[in-house]
Structure 1
Amino acid sequence: MAQFITSLLCAVKAALFLLCAQVQSQLTEAGSVVVRYDDPLIYYNGRWDDEPETWWTSSGFKINVQNLSNLTLNLGPYTSNPVLLGVSINYGNFTGFNATQGANVIPLGDLTYASDAVVRINSVGWQDNHMNLESIELNAGANLLPYRPSHIAFQFIGDSLSAGQYLPLGVDQAWPFLVSEYFRGEHNIQAQPGIALSDIDSYGNIHGMSFQFFQTEDTQYYYDPLHNYTTPWNFKRDYPAATHVVLTLCSSSSRTYCRCVVHKTYINFLENIRIIYPVQPLFIILPWGWPNPEGPPSPYYVGTYQQVVNHHDVYPSNLHPTIQGHQKVAGYFESWLEEWGMVAEGR
Structure 2
Amino acid sequence: MRVGFRLTALLSWAVAASATILENGQVRENAYPGQVQTVTLDDSWRSYPADAPEISYKGRWDSQHISWWSAPGIKVEFSGEKLAVNFGPSTIPGVLVAYRIGSLDWQFSNVTADSTYQFVGPWSELKDGDEPIGKNIFEMRVTNWGIGVQIAGVAVAKDAVITKAPTFDKRVEIIGGSLASGQFATYETISSWSFMFANGLGNVEYGITAYPGVCLADQKCYGGQSRGVGWYWHRASDPGSRARSIYGHEPEHWDVKKEQPADLVIIQMGGNDHRHPNEIPGRDYYHAYVDLVEDVHSNWPNAIVLLMSQWGGFTKQNKKFVGSTYYLEETKQVHEHFKDRGFVYYFPTEGLLQHNDINPKNHLTDVGHVKIASHLLQWVKLVLRWNLEPTGEVQSGTAYWNDQQEY
Q: Give the TM-score band, short-chain normalised.
A: 0.7 to 0.9
Aligned to 2:398: none
1:334 is aligned to 2:377:
yes
- Deviation track 1:208-263 (CA, whole Å, cap 9, x = no partner) reads 1121111111012566433323122012442x321111100011131412211111
Match of 1:149 among 137, 145, 167: 167
Aligned to 2:53: 40
The aligned runs of 1:197-216 (5 Å cut-off) are 197-204=216-223, 205-216=225-236
1:276 deviates by 0.9
Contact 2:197 2:373 (8 Å CA) reproduced: yes
Match of 2:74 among 39, 58, 61: 61
Aligned to 1:230: 251
Aligned to 2:33: none
Amino acid at match of 1:217: S
Match of 2:239 among 211, 219, 224: 219
Contact 1:290 1:297 (8 Å CA) reproduced: yes
- Deviation track 1:12-52 (CA, whole Å, cap 9, x = no partner) reads xxxxxxxxxxxxxxxx9821110111111111111111111
- Deviation track 1:256-283 (CA, whole Å, cap 9, x = no partner) reads 1221111111111111111111121001
Distance 1:346 1:257, change over 3 A: closer
Contact 1:94 1:172 (8 Å CA) reproduced: no
Aligned to 2:102: 90
Match of 1:187 among 169, 181, 206: 206
TM-score when normalising by structure 2:
0.74
Gaps of 5+ in 2: 1-40, 128-132, 345-357, 392-407
Contact 1:57 1:171 (8 Å CA) reproduced: yes
Match of 1:171 among 183, 189, 196: 189
Amino acid at match of 1:301: Y
Q: Secondary structure at the match of 2:198?
A: helix
1:309 is aligned to 2:346:
no
Aligned to 1:318: 361
TM-score when normalising by structure 1:
0.86
- Deviation track 1:286-334 (CA, whole Å, cap 9, x = no partner) reads 0112332442321112321111011122221101111111001101111
- Deviation track 1:95-131 (CA, whole Å, cap 9, x = no partner) reads 2211101112225534245112101111120311x21
Percent identical residues: 21
Aligned to 2:296: 273
The aligned runs of 1:123-138 (5 Å cut-off) are 123-128=142-147, 130-138=148-156
Q: Secondary structure at the match of 1:226?
A: helix
Distance 1:55 1:220 in 2: 9
Distance 1:293 1:346, change over 3 A: closer
Q: Secondary structure at the match of 1:153?
A: strand
Contact 1:96 1:169 (8 Å CA) reproduced: no
Distance 1:125 1:208 in 2: 21
Distance 2:52 2:137 in 1: 16
- Deviation track 1:120-179 (CA, whole Å, cap 9, x = no partner) reads 111120311x21111111122222123112222110000000001112322111111111
Distance 2:311 2:328 in 1: 11
Q: Secondary structure at the match of 1:312?
A: helix
1:115 is aligned to 2:134:
yes
Aligned to 1:79: 91
Distance 1:142 1:112, change over 3 A: farther
Distance 1:301 1:29, change over 3 A: closer
Aligned residues: 317
Aligned to 2:23: none
Distance 1:29 1:281, change over 3 A: closer
Q: Secondary structure at the match of 2:85?
A: strand
Distance 1:263 1:253, change over 3 A: closer
Amino acid at match of 1:284: L
Amino acid at match of 2:270: C
Aligned to 1:7: none
Contact 1:290 1:300 (8 Å CA) reproduced: no
1:337 deviates by 1.3
Contact 1:195 1:203 (8 Å CA) reproduced: yes
Aligned to 1:24: none
Distance 1:43 1:142 in 2: 18
Aligned to 1:263: 286
Distance 1:124 1:260, change over 3 A: same
Which protein shows a greater Rg?
1
- Structure 1 segments, 4+ long, off by >4 Å, are 221-224
Contact 2:146 2:242 (8 Å CA) reproduced: no
Distance 2:207 2:172 in 1: 6
Aligned to 1:20: none
Distance 1:137 1:223 in 2: 28
What RMSD, in angstroms, separates the aligned Cα atoms of the two structures? 1.9
